[in-house]
Amino acid sequence: MEITIEEQSDIRIIRLTGRLDGTTMKQLEEHIVQLVDQGCNKFVFDYRNLEYISSAGLRVMLLSVKITRSSNGKVALFGMQDNVAEVFEMSGFFRIFEVFQTEEEAVAYLVS
Amino acid sequence: MEMLSIACVALAVMTLLAVAGAWVYRKEWRRTKKLFDIGLQLNATIKRKDLLQVIMETASRTMRAEGSSIILQDETTGELYFEVATGGNDEQIKEIRLKPGEGVAGWVAKTGESVLITDAQKDERWSNRVSAKVKVPTRSLLCVPVMSNGKTLGVLQVINKKGGKPFNKRDLTLLEMIASPTAVALENMFLYEALLDSMQSLRETTVIKEKMESELKIARGIQYSFLPGHDLYMRKTSLHASLVPAREVGGDFYHFIELDERRLLLCLGDVSDKGMPSALFMSAIMIWIQAKASAASSPARILEEINREISQEYSTMFATLFMAILDTETGHLRYCDAGHCPPFVLGKGQVRMLETAKHLPIGIFADEQYEERDIHLQQGESLVLYTDGITEAENAEGEWFTTAKLNQVLAEHADAQPSEVIEVLRNQVFAFADGHPQSDDIAVLVAKYGEMSGL
């Protein structure tokens, strides 16, 4: 799993490449906790290169929502592949995430 | 006459030479025998305490010395150390350590060269510290390195030749000869100790491992004691459920409860993690299902109440769950989907996915509202609940069993009895995995309405 983080004013764009599962979730969790500690609460997740997400992966995503909620933060996702979208669909996670087609839309949602 | 005298002299010389030769030969033989005996003595034991004693006794006796010591080198620190009896009847042993290079012994260990000191008091290499500690006034001494494959194991030292004379160079050569079988014996001793060490740590690791395994086994036992069993027959409905645990403690579960004489509660779910935390979470859910089932009237209300109990602000532990209440007389099914794999309905050679209203898994937000749907199961139709342990069962190539394959297997056995459906499914999944270890629990529940031929 490869994670790169880009700054765009007060937004952090987190780009994920590979599989987000029980073995890689810890990596992402550390990044998120660190960013929140630095005072960030607006995250865009770039899912274009995310090949797979397990229920353990969903837990980290849930963490990003729970951890930013208390400070009125926002989380947006974009570029989801079909099999990842299926997991979000099946687990009902679409209900707690704002999911967009493009990066521009996702960023625009956080700015609004 | 002259010839005779020459012959006599020659004869005398030859005799002398023969005698001398025999003497030399005998001496050489004695020496060889002595060394051979020493080798035997040194190989008589492998245990540290005994061996060091044997080495010292052998050295003292062979060298006709008043005392001897075998001083070993600590591989990690380079220090030399030896044990001395502290005297008295309690046989207490005290360890003395020398800094690298300290004293004669230190010098010998450092340089790998032997030392002969005829008058210790006049030799600056002599460490008073050692002399004071061993409480033997030292006049003369020999000290040789004990080496094996270029590595210094320690030094062998003898002090004060009996009879008053100091040690000489021939004594030094003899002690060097003793050092060689001593090195072999010490190497054997170290190997033996290393073996004992590794056996001990293996024993300890095994104990810890067995303890952990038995605790996990107990945990699993407790976890599965919450499951209601495998079969239920109620009016026009027969049910079969199965859980095949992965090697690690997992978090799949199912439940069925007879709510009254007609209504049957069914549920099956999957906790989002593995190991102990998920086992505990699963156990809590099982207890809450039991507690909330009888009072609440519908699947959605039961889920809302359980969800309220188990959701915590900063926890990310959750469980996907499908819950239904079936009227076993009429086939009326009310159900609620908390983020779980889509159930199937089988019957009359057909299989279809049950349409649900998707909701979040339980344990995420305490105020989540759940809504339910309902259908009427027709005579002979079955409801199939399962976890992703089936659809994501993996083979050695990393391929998944998939929902499509599940669909296909179910279609081929659409009219089979619940226990048969589950058995076929299990066999198909295991055949697909073909020995590849099962990484997730597999839970399946099949409830068939309208026939009682399972009885």
DSSP SS3 for B253:
strand
Model confidence at B125: pLDDT above 70:
no
- B248 Cβ contact partners less than 8 Å away, ≥ 6 residues apart: B274, B275
Burial of B66 (C-beta count, 10 Å sphere; 0-12/13-18/19+)? middle
ipTM, interface predicted TM-score of the complex: 0.90
Cα(B108)–Cα(B304) distance, rounded to whole angstroms? 82
Phi, psi dihedrals of residue B426, rounded to the nearest 5°: -60, -45
pLDDT digits (tens, 9 = 90+) for B334-367: 999 999 999 999 998 899 999 999 999 999 999 9
Q: Which of A58, A61, A57 is nearest to A76 (CA)?
A: A61
pLDDT for the residue numbered B75: 85
Q: Judging by DSSP bridges, how do beta strands A98-100 and A74-78 pair with one another?
A: parallel
B363 touches chain A (CB under 8 A): no
Computed over every residue of chain B, the mean pLDDT equals 87
What is the band of B454 on the pLDDT scale with cuts at 50, 70, 90?
A: very low
Cα(B196)–Cα(B424) distance, rounded to whole angstroms? 52
**Minimal Cα distance from A96: which residue of B?**
B360
Q: Which chain B residues are Cβ-neighbours of A92 within 8 angstroms? A: 337-339, 358-361
Whether residues B316 and A60 touch (CB distance < 8 A) is answered with yes
pLDDT digits (tens, 9 = 90+) for B251-272: 899 999 999 999 999 999 999 8
Beta-bridge partners for A98: A76
- B113 Cβ contact partners less than 8 Å away, ≥ 6 residues apart: B145
- Across A8-36, average pLDDT: 93
Q: Does domain B35-195 have CATH number 3.30.450.40?
A: yes
Name the residue type at position B422: I
What is the band of B295 on the pLDDT scale with cuts at 50, 70, 90?
A: confident
- Given a contact cutoff of 8 angstroms between Cβ atoms, the answer to whether B351 and B386 are in contact is no
Cα(B243)–Cα(B230) distance, rounded to whole angstroms? 9
pLDDT for the residue numbered A62: 94
The domain ranges of chain B are 35-195, 218-449
CA dihedral B411, B412, B416, B420 (to 10 degrees): -110
Cα(B60)–Cα(B155) distance, rounded to whole angstroms? 14
Cα(B402)–Cα(B390) distance, rounded to whole angstroms? 8
A69 touches chain B (CB under 8 A): no
pLDDT for the residue numbered B455: 43
Q: Copy the structure tokens of residue B161.
A: 């030749």
- Homologous superfamily of the B218-449 domain (CATH): PPM-type phosphatase domain (3.60.40.10)
Could you say which of A62, A89, A91 has the minimum Cβ distance to residue B316?
A: A62
Q: Copy the structure tokens of residue B245.
A: 């645990």
pLDDT for the residue numbered B134: 58
Q: Which of B265, B272, B315 is nearest to B288 (CA)?
A: B265
- Across A15-21, average pLDDT: 94
Phi, psi dihedrals of residue B336, rounded to the nearest 5°: -140, 135
- Given a contact cutoff of 8 angstroms between Cβ atoms, the answer to whether B406 and B391 are in contact is yes
- Across B157-183, average pLDDT: 89
Q: Which chain B residues are Cβ-neighbours of A56 within 8 angstroms? A: 272-273
pLDDT digits (tens, 9 = 90+) for B409-422: 999 999 999 999 99
Chain B: closest CA distance from residue A59 (Å): 5
pLDDT digits (tens, 9 = 90+) for B87-117: 545 555 677 888 888 888 888 988 999 999 8
Model confidence at B86: pLDDT above 60:
no
pLDDT digits (tens, 9 = 90+) for B197-223: 988 998 998 888 888 888 877 877 888
pLDDT for the residue numbered B453: 46
pLDDT digits (tens, 9 = 90+) for B29-66: 877 777 788 888 888 788 888 888 888 888 888 889 98
Cα(A53)–Cα(B427) distance, rounded to whole angstroms? 27
Whether residues B270 and A55 touch (CB distance < 8 A) is answered with yes
A88 touches chain B (CB under 8 A): no
Model confidence at B3: pLDDT above 70:
no
Whether residues A90 and B339 touch (CB distance < 8 A) is answered with yes
Cα(B115)–Cα(B109) distance, rounded to whole angstroms? 11
- Given a contact cutoff of 8 angstroms between Cβ atoms, the answer to whether B45 and B53 are in contact is no
What is the band of B126 on the pLDDT scale with cuts at 50, 70, 90?
A: low
- B173 Cβ contact partners less than 8 Å away, ≥ 6 residues apart: none
Structural domains present in chain A? 2-111 (3.30.750.24)
**Minimal Cα distance from B340: which residue of A?**
A91
**Minimal Cα distance from A21: which residue of B?**
B273
Cα(B353)–Cα(B254) distance, rounded to whole angstroms? 20
DSSP SS3 for B24:
helix
Cα(B299)–Cα(A110) distance, rounded to whole angstroms? 36
- Given a contact cutoff of 8 angstroms between Cβ atoms, the answer to whether B163 and B187 are in contact is no
pLDDT digits (tens, 9 = 90+) for A55-94: 889 999 999 999 998 888 999 999 999 999 999 999 999 9
pLDDT for the residue numbered B47: 86
